Chain A
Amino acid sequence: MGIGPKPRHRLDALATHLGGRCEGDGGIEVDRLCEPADARSASDLPLLFSDDAVSQLRSDLPRAALAREGLALPAGRFSGLILVDRPRHALARLLPLFLPARAAPPGVHPTAIVDPSAIVPADASIGPFVHIGARVEIGAGCVIDGNVTIAEDCRLGPGCRLHAGVRLGPRTRLGERVILHFNVSLGADGFSYATAEPGSVETLAAGSEVRARNEAIERIPSLGAVAIGDDVEIGANSAIDRGTIADTLIHRGTKIDDLVMIGHNCQIGEDCLIAGQVGIAGSCRIGNRVVLGGKVGVADHLTIGDDAVVMAMSGVGRDVAAGMVVGGTPAVARHQFLEQVLGLTRLKRMAEEIRGLGERLAGLERSKDRPLD
């Protein structure tokens, strides 16, 4: 890709695009977003979202800035300003305009192996060393980078973006505009086994001790698939296994971070946010708009209600009702979790107090036993 001139944007047009307010000279043109400490040219647009950010601004060159509404700025410092109420939302609208365009020429790279029965529209881009299996249907405008494997009978909706190294198991279905980052694995066989006789965990569940050995573990193959809704985004190296009979489902708009594991038969609702290293065991039902913090673990067959929030590092061992905020292991209501943390930090002082009381009590008892003179 050749290096062309950087696209320039007028301040007033940007403000409209961000849903913000333009103050001063709306005709100023900017061509680069920057941290305040990194500002170095008149056409830079420093991002000023906090008092700290304002204090880090050293260069006098930038003529304009993007600032949080209500932030105290040095009077007259900028000729033009964009003011926004929700800085992070503004970034979501702003950054795509400054994203360097990546060349993805339509067509199939000569090193790609495409089964003759697969449907690849002319405007799709298929990168080097891609394998596309039998009866696969690729939607219009899909961009598939190098070393992607798409097994037989997969269907990709229009506008999907598969980064290098993605693997799709048989029958995986992607909605429209799905983004899969490096090495996402969808539709591997689920972690599903059975023994002829009741095994250790089954006897443990029935009583309170292990009364059997796990012998001759037989695998249960997965006949289902993985289905991903429109506008879902899945981070690098995340894995979602296919269902045993029915499909593992991720509904519209859900965003999944890197290194997330979602077990077979799970159903994840719409617009959820699932942070890095979350692990969800098989057959869970996660509602709509649920937020799972980093490293959260969810045991199998649980239900988490709509709009629930699970704090980072929590271990969810029972159902979570809609709208609840839970934390800790086992996860309990947020307030109860914070009380537990405070209780732990108090232990040292409480132990000292108990020892002091014990000594006083012993002293009192000694004086009681002493015969009166």
Chain B
Amino acid sequence: MASIEDKVIEIIAKESGLERAKISAGSTLKDLEIASLDFVQIMFAIEEEFKIYLPTNDPRAETGTVASLVAEIERQIAAKSA
């Protein structure tokens, strides 16, 4: 089974049109120069995939890394199964 990180990178690649190889755990969506509406679609696709809601009240979301996004997903999945 693909790890959460793999899946998140796959979603970012699909929604932004970037090559997978260019995206790593340390990349921020800002570094990847992802347009604002692509960013929204990425957030939405992640929410659909993992059946969660990402926090939207953080204006720094776009400067967070893929790793921090993965950490948030893991936290929410753990909270749900607890």
Task: Give the B-binding residues of A (Cβ under 8 A).
Answer: 311, 327, 334-335, 338-339, 341-343, 345-346, 349
Residues in B with CB closer than 8 Å to A341 are 37, 40
Q: Which residue of A lies closest to B45 (CB)?
A: A345
**Using an 8 Å CB-CB cutoff, how does the interface string of B42-80 with A read, 1 for contact, 0 for none?**
011001100001001101000000000000000000000
Of chain B, the residue at the smallest CB distance from A341 is B40
B interface list, Cβ under 8 A from A: 36-37, 39-41, 43-44, 47-48, 53, 56-57, 59
How far apart are the CA atoms of A188 and B16 in the complex, in Å?
45
Please pick, from B36, B44, B57, B59, the residue contacting A345 in the complex, using a CB distance under 8 A. B44
Are A339 and B57 interface neighbours, CB within 8 A? yes
B39 and A346: CB pair below 8 A? no
Contact of A338 among B39, B47, B48, B53 (CB under 8 A): B39
Contact check: which of A311, A334, A339, A346 meets B47 at CB < 8 Å?
A346
8 CB-based A-B contacts, threshold 8 Å: A311-B36, A334-B36, A338-B37, A338-B39, A339-B57, A346-B47, A346-B53, A349-B47
Measured CB to CB, the nearest residue on chain A to B41 is A345
| Interface contact tally, CB-CB below 8 A | 26
- Cα distance A339–B47 when bound, in Å? 14
B56 touches A339 (CB 8 A): yes
Contacts of A342 in B (CB 8 A): 40, 43-44, 56
Per DSSP, chain A at the interface is: helix
Question: What residue in chain B is nearest A339 (Cβ atoms)?
Answer: B56
Closest chain A residue, CB of each to CB of B36: A338
Contacts of A338 on B, CB cut-off 8 Å? 36-37, 39-40, 56
Cα–Cα distance between A275 and B56 once the two chains are bound (Å): 30
Alpha-carbon distance A342/B39, docked complex (angstroms):
10
| Alpha-carbon separation in the docked complex, A35 to B41 (Å) | 32
| Cβ–Cβ < 8 Å partners of B57 in chain A | 339
Q: In the complex the two chains form, what is the Cα distance from A341 to B59 in whole Å? A: 14
Chain B residues with CB under 8 Å of A346's CB are: 44, 47, 53
CB distance from B81 to the nearest CB of A (A): 18
Bound Cα distance from A338 to B36, whole angstroms: 7
Q: How distant is the Cα of A345 from the Cα of B41 in the complex, in angstroms?
A: 8
* Identity of the chain A residue whose Cβ is nearest the Cβ of B57 in the assembled complex: A339
Are A349 and B40 interface neighbours, CB within 8 A? no
Q: Which of A335, A339, A343, A349 contacts B48 (CB 8 A)?
A: A349
User: Which A residues are in CB contact (< 8 Å) with B36?
Assistant: 311, 327, 334, 338
